[in-house]
A and B are shown apart, each in its own frame.
Chain A
Amino acid sequence: MTLSGEQPAYGPRESDPSKPSPARVYDYILGGSHYYPVDEAAGNRMVRALPLVPALMRYNREFLQRVVHLLTGEYGIRQFIDFGSGLPTEDNVHEVAQAIAPETRVVYIDYERGAVDLGREILADNPHATSIHADIRQPEHVLADPDLRGLIDFDKPVGLLMFAVLHFISDEELPMIERYRRAVCPGSYLVISHGTTAQTARVAAQQNLAKKDYDQRTERTWMRNKDQIAAIFGDAEILHPGIVHIPDWRPTDSGYTPDPDDEARQLGLAGVGRLV
């Protein structure tokens, strides 16, 4: 199936130190410590073109924390599946959720071997959380995974978390989300954060430069606009305030006002839907 040394197009992957990977480049930009020189170089190329990218990634992590806090604390969700969870980093889903409700079940999924191995190591003593090595584009595999089945009860609501991962999925592959939506019961939630094209021509030009490099040398990406992201939610009820720029989604800072000049803000959208 593999062409000389190349990773297969589908399925879980081994960590390859000679080629940058989305998980490790992201870890590098977030100030982590699980990356190779190729990832550092790829991250730096991206930041050179788009100097505020590290702020965007921070907005994304803050959104994750706000949402998980809300779903666990206010909406009573006690099970999460985190799709494309990346390398374990500060205030991860299980830490935020289990601080509120220690019995909360969390399953992390990533197709990058290094991310999953490290996750398992960290979660070794946590009976309610695990990490599985799978490609989310193969929902039948994912949903049949014994570790996932062991933790998640599909008769109770689940938080399906898709932070900064769906822009790695092409339009043709995207309908697989439907499979996950149908697997969970009504009252479950779908959470999405997603890369989008900047509104101002100036920033869009910089973004283009970064994207070209990333797509060619790290992984292909598909930016989507509000309507396209709304379509992913299907018939779910999209919660207030709708699909908005990431830091605008229910900010906890009372002094927060959306800043149209904030370039990092322009680059990502987020939303939460309640499945019916």
Chain B
Amino acid sequence: MPWPLGTAMTAFDAAVARTPTGRRLQLAALCHHLRARAGLTQLDAARTVRPGMSSGVGQNKIARLERGDGGMREADLIALLRAYGAEDTVIELACTLRPRYAKRDRWGGPRAAYDTDSSRRYVDLEEDAASIRLLGSEMIPDLLACESYAYAALAGQPARLRRAKTDAILSRHDRVLCRQDPPEIYAVLSESCFYRRPPGPPTVLEEQLDHLTALAGQPNITVQVSTFGATPGVQDALTLLRLPHPVQSLDDLTFAWGRIGDDPIPISRIEACERLWSSAVRTALRPADSLRFLHEFKEQR
């Protein structure tokens, strides 16, 4: 759960991310916000902090910091934020967000199946998300899959790997769906997700329909079925995440990430993917009609 930062932060109800990836991106958003508030360009900022250093190098460091893929020594970070006119409490918050040590065993156990940087980054973000929007065009997204469906969907992979990946998905369910303060989850699933039978026994799809109906009964989960076929332009599932801003009162709602299939969506394409989301929600069945669809679909089989 995002934890409140004690008394020093009373001016801002801070919500520090659970995962290192979340904190790195929160730091990026915070630095970007403070620089914009100060009305400085990255180049201005670099010049102010390190008048001696080549400003190109300094600007590069600031750009990486604001993208969430570069660290900075604590003293440099403090100097930079001072130059932005940041309050002491905000500087303290930024230092809390700064990556310090990497815990080696974070990716042990079932989560070892996530073995690439980009998949780990995503799994971290999912764990920190305030809201998760899913657009499924062919398959039920992992987060909403029941165990037998997740396993069936991995057909074609060696048995041991298949089991390990299924367990990894179940561990995400624990950490995301079952956590104390769960995210808001909105899913629009194309009807082809249901017409396309996963390999394996016929009971798998039935179990999945029951699972989905049960999930949709939770207050934080909304499921809509889209009867317009696959969403144009998206073959793979689309996921859009919103993270809590580290300083909640500053939340400007631009703080969002996503991926298509397993690939992160570049910032330049996020807005276009959001447009797909809006059209999917607008044209999908109402939530109540979607549940009726799932029910009738199961009865017909």
User: Which residues on A are within 8 Å of B, measured CB to CB?
Assistant: 28-31, 37, 40-41, 43-49, 51-55, 57-58, 200, 202, 206, 209-210, 213, 247, 257, 259, 261-265
By a CB distance below 8 angstroms, the chain B residues around A57 are 282
Contacts between chains A and B (CB distance < 8 A), count: 82
Q: Is B219 an interface residue (CB 8 A)?
A: yes
A40-B271, A40-B275, A44-B274 in contact; A259/B219 too (CB < 8 A)?
no
Contact A30 B282 (CB under 8 A): yes
By a CB distance below 8 angstroms, the chain A residues around B283 are 58
Rounded to whole angstroms, the CA-CA distance of A38 and B219 in the bound complex is 33
- Chain A nearest CB, measured from B183 CB (Å): 11
Task: Tell me the nearest residue of chain A to B282, going by C-beta.
Answer: A54
Q: Which of A29, A41, A259 contacts B288 (CB 8 A)?
A: A259
Q: Which of B251, B254, B278 contacts A47 (CB 8 A)?
A: B278
Contact B251 A202 (CB under 8 A): no
Rounded to whole angstroms, the CA-CA distance of A120 and B279 in the bound complex is 27
Q: Is the interface of A mostly helix, strand, loop or mixed?
A: helix
Sampled A-B contacts (12; CB under 8 Å): A31-B279, A45-B252, A45-B254, A46-B253, A47-B278, A51-B131, A51-B184, A54-B278, A55-B281, A55-B286, A210-B253, A261-B287
Q: Is B220 an interface residue (CB 8 A)?
A: yes
Give residues 54-109 of B contacting A (CB, 8 Å).
none
Q: Is B165 an interface residue (CB 8 A)?
A: no
By a CB distance below 8 angstroms, the chain A residues around B282 are 29-31, 54-55, 57-58
Known: A53-B281, A213-B252. 12 other contacts (CB 8 A): A28-B278, A31-B278, A45-B253, A48-B256, A48-B274, A51-B186, A51-B281, A52-B186, A54-B282, A262-B286, A262-B288, A263-B222
Contact B254 A51 (CB under 8 A): no
Rounded to whole angstroms, the CA-CA distance of A37 and B133 in the bound complex is 22
- Chain B nearest CB, measured from A220 CB (Å): 17
Rounded to whole angstroms, the CA-CA distance of A46 and B242 in the bound complex is 12
Rounded to whole angstroms, the CA-CA distance of A261 and B33 in the bound complex is 36
By a CB distance below 8 angstroms, the chain A residues around B253 are 45-46, 48-49, 209-210, 213
Give residues 223-268 of B contacting A (CB, 8 Å).
240, 242, 251-254, 256
- Chain A nearest CB, measured from B38 CB (Å): 19
By a CB distance below 8 angstroms, the chain A residues around B275 are 28, 40, 44
Contact B254 A261 (CB under 8 A): no
Rounded to whole angstroms, the CA-CA distance of A49 and B252 in the bound complex is 10
- Chain B nearest CB, measured from A205 CB (Å): 10
By a CB distance below 8 angstroms, the chain A residues around B252 are 45, 213
Q: Is B194 an interface residue (CB 8 A)?
A: no
Q: Is B151 an interface residue (CB 8 A)?
A: no
By a CB distance below 8 angstroms, the chain A residues around B240 are 48
- Chain A nearest CB, measured from B173 CB (Å): 21
- Chain B nearest CB, measured from A103 CB (Å): 33
- Chain A nearest CB, measured from B116 CB (Å): 27
Rounded to whole angstroms, the CA-CA distance of A55 and B278 in the bound complex is 8
Contact A47 B274 (CB under 8 A): yes
By a CB distance below 8 angstroms, the chain B residues around A48 are 131, 240, 242, 253, 256, 274
Q: Is B149 an interface residue (CB 8 A)?
A: no
By a CB distance below 8 angstroms, the chain B residues around A52 are 186, 222, 281
By a CB distance below 8 angstroms, the chain B residues around A46 are 253
Q: Is B277 an interface residue (CB 8 A)?
A: yes
Contact B271 A44 (CB under 8 A): yes
Contact A206 B271 (CB under 8 A): no
Task: Tell me the nearest residue of chain A to B280, going by C-beta.
Answer: A54
- Chain A nearest CB, measured from B97 CB (Å): 21
- Chain B nearest CB, measured from A26 CB (Å): 11
| Proximity bits, B266-298, A CB within 8 Å = 1, else 0 | 000001001101110111101110000000000
Q: Which of B133, B219, B284 contacts A202 (CB 8 A)?
A: B219
- Chain A nearest CB, measured from B195 CB (Å): 22
By a CB distance below 8 angstroms, the chain B residues around A210 are 253
- Chain B nearest CB, measured from A46 CB (Å): 8
By a CB distance below 8 angstroms, the chain B residues around A257 are 288
- Chain B nearest CB, measured from A219 CB (Å): 16
Task: Tell me the nearest residue of chain A to B131, going by C-beta.
Answer: A51
- Chain A nearest CB, measured from B246 CB (Å): 15
- Chain A nearest CB, measured from B272 CB (Å): 9
By a CB distance below 8 angstroms, the chain A residues around B220 are 202
- Chain B nearest CB, measured from A247 CB (Å): 7
Question: Which interface residue of A28, A51, A57, A263 has the most chain B CB atoms within 10 A?
Answer: A51
Contact B133 A51 (CB under 8 A): yes
Rounded to whole angstroms, the CA-CA distance of A212 and B196 in the bound complex is 42
Question: Which interface residue of B252, B281, B284 has the most chain A CB atoms within 10 A?
Answer: B281
Rounded to whole angstroms, the CA-CA distance of A14 and B201 in the bound complex is 63
- Chain A nearest CB, measured from B67 CB (Å): 19
Question: Which interface residue of B222, B254, B277, B278 has the most chain A CB atoms within 10 A?
Answer: B278
By a CB distance below 8 angstroms, the chain B residues around A49 are 242, 253
| Proximity bits, B179-195, A CB within 8 Å = 1, else 0 | 00000101000000000
Contact A29 B274 (CB under 8 A): no
- Chain B nearest CB, measured from A24 CB (Å): 14
Rounded to whole angstroms, the CA-CA distance of A37 and B275 in the bound complex is 12
